[in-house]
Structures are given as C-alpha cells and as structure tokens.
C-alpha cells in the first residue's frame, strides 16, 4: 500500500514541476462496486457476486482550453471488487487497480463541471480470474466549492472482458464480466491558476 501511495505522490510531484500553471491536486472518496458476470450459463448457478463498498485516492491535473472547456488527467489507486458467496461462505475479494481517467470537461458556470471520457486501468493485485487490464467509460459532475475544495460524483461503466478460466472450469461456457463503479469524492486544489483573483 505504501508503495502505491509513493507512486501516486511521485506522479503528482512530476505534474507540479512540469505543469505548474495547471489546476491540480489530490482527491479521494468512496467506491460502490459491482462485478457483473454474464454468459456463464449454470457455471455459477450456486454462487453469487455481490457488490462491495471500498475507496479510491489519487491526483489530478486540469488545463482549460477556454472558460467552458478543459481536459483533465488523473492517476488513482482504486480498490474495487466484490463479495463472493458460495455454499454459505462469503469472501471479500479486493481488486486493486492503478487507474488513468482522461476527460473532456465542460464548465457551464464556474461553480459546476461535467466530465466524460475513457478510464484505463491495470490490476496490481486481485483475483486470478480477472484480467490485469481494464477499461471503461466515465461520466460525472463536480461542484467547485471554493478555489481550494471540490466535491463530485462519477460513474464508471467497464467494458466486458472474458473470465480467465481453464477448459475444465468453464465447462463449455464463455463467461464475461465487467466492473461497475459509482464514486463519491472530495478534492483539494494544491494549484489553481484558473481565473486568479486580482
């Protein structure tokens, strides 16, 4: 865990040095996660994959094209996963990702921002059935509470990937899965040159 946080801090410090004129800072919040399994037939008929609540933390930088449009890049450590129930036994399965969301941001007013874009991920630890690579589409909104603080919500719809099962385990089926994550977060701007006050 310490290694992951150090990596995020390194990326953030690099961003400060290279892109000091950008808006950027730290953010973190809650994940409400689901792993949706489909096309599995009766393969998991006696098992269930239930949602879990976890967390994310990371950094972001944002550069405006004009008063209404901007782009934003984030580097996040995100704990996703599910609760696996089988024969009365429940197991909390953690899927730990480094995620890179890339957004186009629309700002109708200074207070409010909407975001849309792809999110790429790499699983650094988790379940052998799950692919290390992940990708999805994010949509969200946030409120700029002040020049320093912000709060927002985001939904990530993952793309489907094939479960990594051998022929014996799959039993002729071709099961796929995707991550579905709803996030609530707060952020703190360590740099913010957008519309500096005189």
Residue 198 lies in a domain: no
Residue 136 lies in a domain: yes
The model's pTM is 0.83
Residue 81 lies in a domain: yes
Give yes or no for a contact between 135 and 161, defined as CB atoms under 8 angstroms apart.
no
Give yes or no for a contact between 112 and 140, defined as CB atoms under 8 angstroms apart.
no
Residue numbers of the domain that contains 121: 2-191
pLDDT for residue 17: 46
Residue written as token pair 């129930």: 85
Top pLDDT among 174 and 32 is at 32
86: domain CATH number? 2.40.160.20
Task: From 16, 60, 20, 63, select the one nearest 183 (Cα to Cα).
Answer: 60
pLDDT in tens, 29-55: 999 999 988 876 667 765 778 899 999
pLDDT in tens, 75-96: 999 999 999 887 778 889 999 9
Characterize 21-31 residue by residue with b for buried, 16 or more Cβ atoms within 10 angstroms of its Cβ, and e for exposed: ebbbbbbbbeb
Residue 116 lies in a domain: yes
pLDDT for residue 142: 97
pLDDT for residue 87: 76
Residue 189: phi and psi, rounded to 5, are -80, 115
- The share of the chain scoring above pLDDT 70, in percent, equals 80
The total number of structural domains in the chain stands at: 1
Task: Give the least confident one: 89-93, 112-116, 134-138.
Answer: 89-93
Give yes or no for a contact between 115 and 146, defined as CB atoms under 8 angstroms apart.
no
Reply yes or no on whether the pLDDT at 128 is more than 50: yes
Give yes or no for a contact between 1 and 79, defined as CB atoms under 8 angstroms apart.
no
Residue 197 lies in a domain: no
| Contacts with 184 (C-beta within 8 Å, 6 or more apart), sequence order | 29, 30, 151, 152, 153
């Amino acid at each position: 865990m310490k290694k992951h946080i150090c990596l995020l801090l390194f990326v953030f410090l690099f961003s400060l040095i290279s892109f000091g004129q950008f808006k950027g800072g730290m953010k973190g919040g809650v994940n409400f996660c689901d792993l949706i399994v489909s096309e599995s037939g009766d393969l998991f008929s006696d098992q269930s994959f239930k949602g879990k609540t976890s967390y994310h933390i990371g950094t972001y930088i944002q550069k405006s094209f004009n008063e209404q449009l901007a782009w934003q890049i984030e580097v996040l450590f995100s704990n996703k996963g599910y609760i696996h129930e089988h024969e009365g036994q429940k197991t909390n399965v953690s899927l730990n990702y480094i995620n890179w969301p890339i957004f186009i941001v629309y700002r109708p007013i200074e207070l409010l921002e909407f975001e849309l874009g792809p999110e790429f991920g790499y699983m650094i630890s988790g379940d052998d059935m799950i692919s290390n690579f992940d990708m999805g589409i994010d949509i969200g909104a946030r409120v700029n509470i002040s020049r320093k603080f912000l709060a927002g919500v985001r939904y990530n719809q993952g793309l489907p990937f094939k479960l990594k099962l051998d022929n014996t385990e799959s039993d002729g089926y071709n099961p796929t899965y995707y991550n579905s994550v709803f996030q609530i977060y707060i952020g703190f701007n360590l740099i913010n040159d957008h519309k500096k006050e005189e």
